[in-house]
Amino acid sequence: MSARGSATIVVLWSIAIAAVVVAATQFVTWRTAALGHATLGRVQARWAARAGIERVIATLAYHTESPDADDPMAVVRDLEFDWQGSLESGGWDIRHAEEGLELKGPLDLHSRLNINAAQKGQLLLVPDISIDTVDAILDWRDEDDEVQGIGAERSFYEGRDLPYIPRNGPFKSIAELELVAGAWPEFVRGEDWNLNDRLDSGEDDGGLSAPEDDADGVLDPGWAGYLTARSIDSRLGLSGLPRIDLRRTSPEELVEILGVDETQANALIQYASNDNAPLGSLLAVELGELIGAPSAGSAGRSSGRSTAGRSTNTLANTQQAAVEPLTKDQLRAIFAECTTSDFDGIEPIPGRVNLNTAGPTVLELLFEDPGVAESIMALRQSRAEGITSIVDLLDLRRVDPSLLAGIADLLDVTGWTFSVTSRGTSNTGQEVEIHAVLDRSNLPVRILEYRED
């Protein structure tokens, strides 16, 4: 009887142990399956987000290779169409915040003022910035160690607890601005702590998590919402062909491409041969006057306006042929297809502000006049194609041609660099966000920055 009882106990213990082993095996298997399911979901979400990036790259490549010079807003409209898409295993969502508005599609970085090209007066108009910080920004990007105004140079940064030296060159990213004296992260980033140009849940929850925010459903982007270091100017014209370098061209090419006559073509080449020959001067001063030649027109744009940028040529008017004033169509062709910039340097040329995507605050920084900003916004919203040339601004009563000439080198009507924040979601609910900066200033489209969250 005792032997039979012992056998029963052994059997019961064996069953119990087997049950425990089976339960443990089931638990481990379930956890492994759950982890595998979650991992698979993240992989699917990642590739959905990447598909959104690739979709934008394809759109940018198409509009760079086959642009519509008469409709610079075409690329913006198509990018808005790319804001959402789906795969069998998930989908993507691409949005960005721009001066308090949430917009669909990628962010045109040319909607912001490039910090490497911004002038002191423009920087002083950035919200909540101080003059000492502006001077320190100018000191950071210049090549010397001479302090501007009340700025900061090498000796200041070397005296910090964790010393470093200023770049004395162009900013590489807007985050680098936080190294400048007085540029604290809360000023640079505002509520956009991860600089992804989107309002995330942690950036709209009051004081529950960093950063501090006002939980109003609107992203405060800080200075990064008005400034960028990533925009790049392109050697391509609005036609998609390389810009004509007026310093290295022939009169025959200008006659064929720009619709100017031979005398105007020679005058353009002569003007561009000067050391300082900004194209913007053509908006305020007659071409003949810029080279010291008589004008064939009796009433020129230069009447009562600035003559800055005039050639140092001292030949008497009687020694040169009269130059017919440039028409607005000729001016549009010049600004669309010509340049006097050198694109062969080590550093890329800072991008210009796109008049078709810049918000009112950025336009105020440029023109230092809210009324002009409102007029430009109204002009572009009145046309499906937007503003097709900076020459269009001459039709605005509030725009002073002399002021426009002075900042023309900062203006464009299209964008070449885009920030894309693509949020991928798998069919099982997992999310992965990819942030990329894309450059279409030349083909193929390049990825300048890439990170996954």
What are the tens digits of pLDDT across the range 343-381? 888 889 999 999 999 999 999 999 989 999 999 999 999
Percent of the chain exceeding pLDDT 90 equals 76
Task: Reply yes or no on whether the pLDDT at 284 is more than 60.
Answer: yes
Say what the pTM is: 0.87
Residue 333 and residue 372 in one domain: no
Domain shared by 361 and 440, yes or no: yes
Whole-number mean pLDDT of the chain?
89
- Has residue 232 got a pLDDT over 50? yes
Q: How confident is the model at residue 137 (pLDDT cuts 50, 70, 90)?
A: very high
Q: What is the pLDDT of residue 310?
A: 45
Terminal Cα-to-Cα distance of the chain (whole angstroms): 68
Same structural domain, 1 and 61:
yes
Question: Is 396 part of a structural domain of the chain?
Answer: no
Quick check: is 403 in a domain? no
- Assess whether pLDDT exceeds 90 at residue 206: no
Residues 36 and 89 in one domain: yes
Range in 13-27, 122-136, 255-269 the model is least confident about: 13-27
Give me 87's structure tokens: 């795969």
364 and 452 fall within a common domain: yes
Q: Is 167 helix (H, G, I), strand (E, B) or coil?
A: coil
326 and 362 both lie in a single domain: no
Q: Tell whether 360 and 305 lie within a shared domain.
A: no
How far from 378 is each of 252, 354, 360, 385, 389, CA to CA, in Å?
39, 15, 11, 13, 15
Pair (298, 377) in one structural domain: no
pLDDT at position 231 is: 97
Residues 364 and 311 occupy one common structural domain: no
Residue 4 covered by a domain: yes
Residues 276 and 375 in one domain: no
Token pair recorded at residue 96: 């960005």
Query: What is the pLDDT at residue 4?
Result: 67
Domains identified in the chain, total number: 2
| Any domain includes 311 | yes
Average pLDDT over residues 100-108: 92
Q: Is residue 283 part of a domain?
A: yes
Domain that holds residue 359: 1-108+355-384+416-453
Residue 261 is assigned to a structural domain of this protein: yes
Helix (H) or strand (E) holding 33: helix 2-65
pLDDT (0 to 100) of residue 16:
74
Q: What is the pLDDT of residue 9?
A: 77
Could you say which of 339, 373, 404 is where a domain stops? Answer: 339
Query: 287 and 314: one domain?
Result: yes
In a domain, 425, yes or no: yes
Task: Check residue 317 and give its pLDDT.
Answer: 45
* pLDDT over 70 at 33, yes or no: no
Per-residue pLDDT, averaged over 168-189, amounts to 96
Contact criterion met (CB below 8 Å) for 202 and 209: yes
385-401: average pLDDT: 95
Q: Classify residue 146: in a domain, yes or no.
A: no
State whether 272 and 362 are in the same domain.
no
Which residue, among 332, 262, 277, 270, has the nearest Cα to 310 in the 3D structure?
277
Give the residues across from 446 on adjacent strands: 439
